[in-house]
Amino acid sequence: MKVHQFDAVIVGAGGAGLMAALYAVKGGANVAVVSKLYPTRSHTGTAQGGIGAALGNLEEDSPLWHAYDTVKGGDWLSDQNAAKVLAEEAIDAVIELEHMGLPFDRTEDGRISQRRFGGHTSDFGKKPVRRACHAADRTGHMILQTLYQQCIKHNVNFFDEFHVVDVIINKGAVVGCVAVELGTGEIHVFHSKATLFATGGWGRVWSVTSNAHSLTGDGAAITYRRGIPVQDMEFYQFHPTGIYKLGILITEGVRGEGGVLINGRGERFMERYAPNIKDLASRDVISRSIYLEIREGRGIKGKDYVYLDVTPETVNRYLAEAGESRRIDRDYVESKLPDILDFCRTYLGVDPVREPMPIQPTAHYSMGGIPTNVNAEAVIDEDWTVIPGLYAAGEVACVSCHGANRLGTNSLVDLVVFGRRGGMAIADYVKHADFVPLPANPSAEVESELNRIRSSTGKTRPGEIRQQMQRAMMDGVGVFREESGMKAALDCIYELKERFNNDLSIDDKGMKFNTDLLEAWELGCLLDIAELTTISALERKESRGAHSREDYKERDDANWMVHTLVEHQDGIGASLRAGVKPRINLNKRVDTSLSDVDERFAPKVRTY
């Protein structure tokens, strides 16, 4: 075992982690970034369409409108103070990315170009607004590359391919983490004053997902096992337009450029569900509409998918119908959506400039996660009590600006805004904080779990358990939910956990680059996340945002303007051997600081 000491350790090297690292280093802290992937492999790189900021480069816009869209998109579960910070600081954050070198597309007069995106409107929902700042359809790629470039420029210490498997708690504070070095299998203990988790989401809980194989919920699972609560886990977003069967994302930017959804009868069905902004309604609304069309037998050829059509003929027909003067041609689509065209041509043999793309909703984004305040400090209860030394930002965190459903582009905004705030908060904190000593044998418990998996001699391969879990979650805890389906999923998860603990078998018994072992360990995280998601979803007896129950169809503001906290019964510093022991706490009220003073922010029926 090797022990390292840094002022701050950032776990995960996507957009949030790199932004936090950059700001902590600029603030004078000695920082290590520890990531199971090379930083440029992180999933931020796959974000396509844009990053929202009310720059107003092409038409009038305001951060207040952006905050409103965020709160409305979140079906009023968003903490309004966080939505306000998100929208206001987005402007500065995007300008800063440009200063760092990010190659945004440009307007004719040389400013950052902006496009429309789902749920982003002007003047409190009146009409769609051009707010998404973009670099072709690889905006996330450019953000990730630019931030990594800046980290190299600022000599950030990277521990690439170090897989963090535990968080260390002593005397009520987080004092570091434990990692496995992939190349050697050696255990490393990172002792720090501050630890920030930026490990991303957990789409791999479901069978159809846009997420990388690496998105297994490690950060939230690790911290939960040690007694840090998770929040709003039932709110998981299914993006409406994944490539049929593969789940690969087709950006909402396609619809921002004029693309439309078409059912098996050739109808633009979103006209019925969202008469005002149609195909640019929120993602949860569109995913449900697609499911309803399919259920009514109006999928393509009666099957479980619909078309996304961005052929110039179709787009121009609807632009003309809407009285817009703009027209598009094939070259325009090629230049605005090169990666999307490449995906469809490669994986489907479909050329989107000539024919429509078959799509279905795909598991995409977790609104829930490690609860934090707006400075990315982890909070452990309804009183917003901070646990010293622990921070979280990006998808793994729940700040909660996204509430019950995240708007497109806001994930990128979230990671730069709250990654930056986290980095600044850490730089301040480590200046005056002392190192809390490590406990005795800080890696012993997780090492014994890893050794159990490595030496397992049961009959069940991890892949078998993973596949069954993914199917159960897709069936029971997907776009639509009801009690019996969720209970069946939960029973399945318990049974799979039993097999994971007592009948597992892996082939690779070695130390070096043992991905068999680490994939199995990741499966343990996924199972915990699936359980926490399902018990949270069972608890919330209403429909709101991405959580849509057929047995409780209405939103219930009288009873449910609260976050769902799942706490560990053994509290902070729980032993890994205790396993998952959840207790639900429904006392954390949603922050309503905007609607308290501005009637326009008050909850109302959510129509688009």
Partner 1 sequence: MEVTFRIRRFNPEIPGKNKPYWQEFTLKDVEETDRVLELLHRIKWEQDGTLTLRRACAHGICGSDAMRINGVNRLACKVLVKEFPEGKKIQVEPILGLPVLKDLVVDMEPFFAHYRQVMPYLINDSPLPANGRERLQSPEDREKFDDTTKCILCACCTTSCPSFWANGEYVGPAAIVQAHRFIFDTRDEALKERLDVLSEPNGVWRCRTIYNCTPACPRDIQVTRAIGEVKLAIQRGKREGIVVDPPKHSGQGMG
Judged by the rule CB under 8 A, the positions of this chain that interact with partner 1 are: 37-38, 40-43, 45-46, 92, 95, 98-101, 103-112, 135-136, 138, 141-142, 145-146, 149-150, 152-153, 183, 212-214, 246, 248, 331, 334-335, 337-339, 341-343, 345-347, 461-463, 506-508, 510-516
Please say which residue, 258 or 462, places its beta carbon nearer to partner 1: 462
Which residues touch 50 (CB under 8 Å, ≥6 apart)? Answer: 114, 115, 117, 132, 133, 134, 139, 253, 256, 408, 409, 412
Report the alpha-carbon distance of residue 456 to residue 451 in Å, rounded: 8
Helices (H), 455-587: 462-476, 483-502, 515-539, 557-560
Residue closer to partner 1 (CB basis): 453 or 590 = 453
Residue 482 C-beta: closest distance to partner 1, Å:
32
CB 248 → partner 1: shortest distance, Å? Answer: 5
CB 9 within 8 A of CB 422: no
d(CA 69, CA 83): 9
Q: Which is nearer to partner 1, 342 or 498 (CB)?
A: 342
The least distance separating partner 1 from the CB of residue 67, rounded to whole angstroms, comes to 20
**Residue with tokens 């930017």, as numbered in its chain:** 253
Instruction: Kindly state the smallest distance separating residue 447's Cβ from partner 1, in Å.
Output: 19
Considering the complex, state which of residue 57 and residue 195 has its C-beta at the smaller distance from partner 1.
Answer: 57
Closer by beta carbon to partner 1, 324 or else 331: 331
Q: Where are the alpha helices (DSSP H) in 304-457?
A: 312-321, 330-336, 338-343, 410-432, 444-454
Residue 302 burial (CB count, 10 A): 9
Who's near 441: CB < 8 A, 6+ residues apart? none
Helix/strand number for the chain, H first, E second: 17, 24
Question: For residue 594, what are the contacts with CB-CB under 8 A and spacing of at least 6?
Answer: 67, 71, 80, 81, 83, 84, 601
Specify whether 283 is catalytic: yes
State the distance between the two ends of the chain, measured CA to CA, in whole angstroms. 56
**Residue among 346 and 587 whose Cβ is closer to partner 1:** 346
Q: How far is the CB of 516 from partner 1 (least distance, A)?
A: 4
Q: How would you class 380 by CB atoms within 10 Å of its CB: exposed for 0-12, middle for 13-18, buried for 19 or more?
A: buried
Residue number with CB closer to partner 1 (107 or 569): 107
Nearer to partner 1, 28 or 101 (CB): 101
| Shortest spacing between CB 33 and partner 1, in angstroms | 14
For partner 1, the closer of residues 511 and 561 by Cβ is 511
Would you say 71 and 601 are in contact if contact means Cβ atoms under 8 Å apart? yes
Helix, strand, or coil (residue 50): coil
SS3 category, 435 = coil
**Which residues are CB-neighbours of 120 under 8 A, at least 6 positions away?**
52, 66, 69, 128, 129, 131, 132, 280, 407, 408, 409
DSSP states along 134-145: -STT-HHHHHHH
Minimal distance, residue 409 CB to partner 1, in Å? 17
Question: What angle (nearest 5°) sits at the alpha carbon of residue 217, between those of residues 153 and 463?
Answer: 120
Q: How far apart, in whole angstroms, are the C-alpha atoms of residue 61 and residue 82?
A: 19
Residue 111 or 298 having the CB closest to partner 1:
111
* Preceding amide of 42 cis, omega within 30: no
Cα separation, 211 vs 365, in Å, equals 8
Least distance to partner 1, CB of residue 466, Å? 8
The closest alpha carbon to 83, from 367, 281, 280, 277, belongs to: 367
Task: Catalytic residue, from 115, 130, 283, 466: name it.
Answer: 283
**Shortest Å distance, C-beta 103 to partner 1:** 5
**Closest to 514 measured CA to CA, from 576, 445, 456, 575:** 456
CA distances from 42 to 144, 304, 477 (A): 8, 31, 26
Hey, which residues are catalytic here?
283
